[in-house]
Amino acid sequence: MIENSMFEEEPDVVDLAKETPSSSSSFPLDPDDVVYEPRSSRLLVRGLGENDADEEEEDYESSARLLGMSFMNRSSNQRAANQRTAYTRQDPSSFCSCLPSVRTMVAGVFVLVLVASLIMVFYFLPGCTFTREGCKKANTSQDSIYPIATDGQPFPWADLRLPSSVVPVHYDLLLQPNLTSMTFRGSVTITMTLQQDTDVLVLHSADMTISKATFQDQEVKPLEYKPWQQIAIKFPQLKKGQTCTLKVDYSAHLSTSYDGFYNSSYIDTTGTKRVLAATQFEPLAARKAFPCFDEPAFKATFSVKIKREAEYISLSNMPKIGTTQEDGLLLDEFEKSVTMSTYLVAFIVANLSSVSRNVSGTQVSVYAVPDKKDQVQYALDSAADLLQFYNKFFDIDYPLKKLDMVAIPDFLAGAMENWGLITFRETTLLVGNHSSPLDRQLVTSVIAHELAHQWFGNLVTMKWWNDLWLNEGFASYMQYMSIEKLFPQLDIDNEFLNIRFRALAKDSLNSSHPVSAVVKTPEQVEEMFDSVSYEKGASILLMVNSTLNDGEFQKGVIEYLNKYKGRNTVSEDLWNSLSSVSKLSISVAQMMNTWTLQKGFPLVTVNRIGPTVKLSQEHFLLDAGNVTSNNVWHIPLTYVNDSCSTARGCKQVFLLKDKSAKLDIPAGVKWLKFNYKNEGFYIVDYGVEGWKALIGALQQDVNVLPHEDRAALVNNIFMLSRLGKVPFRQVLNMLSYMSNETETAPLTEALSQLMHILRMLEKRQDLFLVNRMKAYIINHFGDLMDSQSWEEESSVATQTLRSMLLEISCGLHRANCTEKAMEAFQAWVASNGTHRIPSDLMRVVFSVAVQTEDGWNRVLQAYKLSLYDSEKRRMLEALASTQDVSNIVWILQAGLSGSDIQNQELPLVISTVCKGLAGYLYGWNFVKENWGKITQKFPIGSFAVQSIIVSATSQFSTKLQLLELENFFSSLKDKGSQMRTVQEAVETIKLNMLWMDKNLDTLRNWL
Catalogue the active-site residues.
450
Q: What is the CA radius of gyration of the chain?
A: 31
CB 223 within 8 A of CB 215: no
Q: How far apart are CA 820 and CA 137, in angstroms?
A: 83
Q: How far apart are CA 473 and CA 149, in angstroms?
A: 39
Cα of 320 vs its chain's centroid, Å? 34
3-state SS, residue 190: strand
Q: How far apart are CA 526 and CA 650, in angstroms?
A: 43
536 DSSP 8-state letter = I
Give every strand in the sheet of 243-253, ordered side by side: 218-220, 209-215, 243-253, 183-194, 166-178, 301-308, 329-334, 320-326
CB 990 within 8 A of CB 953: no
Q: How far apart are CA 496 and CA 502, in angstroms?
A: 10
- Burial profile 554-574: b = 16 or more Cβ within 10 angstroms, e = fewer: bbbbbbbbeebeeebbebbbb
Please provide the DSSP assignment of 731-746 as one string.
Answer: HHHHHGGGGG---HHH
Q: How far apart are CA 99 and CA 105, in angstroms?
A: 9
3-state SS, residue 643: coil
Q: How far apart are CA 457 and CA 422, in angstroms?
A: 13
The C-alpha angle 81, 85, 88, rounded to 5 degrees, equals: 150
Q: How far apart are CA 411 and CA 386, in angstroms?
A: 24
Q: 505 φ, ψ to 5°?
A: -60, -45
Cα of 521 vs its chain's centroid, Å? 15
Helices 767-786 and 744-764, interaxial angle, to 10°? Answer: 160
Q: How far apart are CA 300 and CA 302, in angstroms?
A: 7
Q: How far apart are CA 606 and CA 617, in angstroms?
A: 9
3-state SS, residue 551: coil
Q: How far apart are CA 630 and CA 618, in angstroms?
A: 8
Of 673, 592, 587, 686, give the one whose Cα is nearest residue 637: 673
Of 425, 529, 470, give the one whose Cα is nearest residue 947: 529
Q: How far apart are CA 638 and CA 652, in angstroms?
A: 5
CB 47 within 8 A of CB 936: yes
CB 700 within 8 A of CB 663: no
Q: How far apart are CA 632 and CA 619, in angstroms?
A: 8
Residue 66 φ/ψ region, left for φ over 0, alpha for ψ in the -120 to 50 degree band, beta for the rest = alpha
Of 547, 421, 544, 416, give the one whose Cα is nearest residue 472: 416
